Structure 1
């Protein structure tokens, strides 16, 4: 199975988890251990290109994947639409 196909399948599973109840919440953002993502992907290791492919696949599904080294965070991309914006005035 090609790397992209494996990451596409993994992205589908991660996206589906967003809507499932666990951890005391009905749905929403979550963190997942790298070990579990490797198992989902059927890989012994996740290389940088794997994480990039998975990140892109998650974005295509409307989710943001944040690599925190020992775990990943999955959030809806819509979460960020209401954040305040920094403009040129604050960049000085």
Structure 2
């Protein structure tokens, strides 16, 4: 399958998030570079391609994470409850380096 735009690719990837595959009913997943290239109709993925697709996914509430040989798609809401680093925490962490 090949789509005509980053927006269309983002729609496909967002839809996959809610579908059952890989033994799970829904949720985060990884997609190989090769399949992403095929979806976008590209021989190579350039930084501009990944940035444009990442922006289109972010508009839909998802995050695209480049892991070099594959990409991860996660809900942006998964990051909301992460603990935040305070200004006070940085010096103590840096001192132990």
TM-score range, shorter chain: over 0.9
After the TM superposition, which segments of 4 or more aligned residues of structure 1 sit over 2 Å from their partners?
A: none
SS at match of 1:66: strand
SS at match of 2:19: coil
The Cα of 1:8 is off from its aligned counterpart by 1.1
| 1:40 alignment partner in structure 2 | 39
Supply the distance in 1 between the matched residues of 2:14 and 2:40 (Cα, whole angstroms): 14
Aligned Cα RMSD in Å? 0.9
Supply the distance in 2 between the matched residues of 1:43 and 1:14 (Cα, whole angstroms): 16
| 1:66 alignment partner in structure 2 | 65
Supply the distance in 1 between the matched residues of 2:85 and 2:47 (Cα, whole angstroms): 30
| 1:49 alignment partner in structure 2 | 48
Q: Which has the larger radius of gyration?
A: 2
**TM-score with structure 2 setting the length:** 0.87
SS at match of 1:17: helix
SS at match of 1:88: coil
Supply the distance in 1 between the matched residues of 2:74 and 2:31 (Cα, whole angstroms): 11
Supply the distance in 2 between the matched residues of 1:11 and 1:34 (Cα, whole angstroms): 15
- Greater helix fraction, Structure 1 or Structure 2: 1
Asked if the contact 1:18–1:29 (Cα under 8 Å) also holds between the matched residues in 2, the reply is yes
Asked if the contact 1:20–1:27 (Cα under 8 Å) also holds between the matched residues in 2, the reply is yes
Asked if the contact 1:9–1:41 (Cα under 8 Å) also holds between the matched residues in 2, the reply is no
SS at match of 2:6: helix
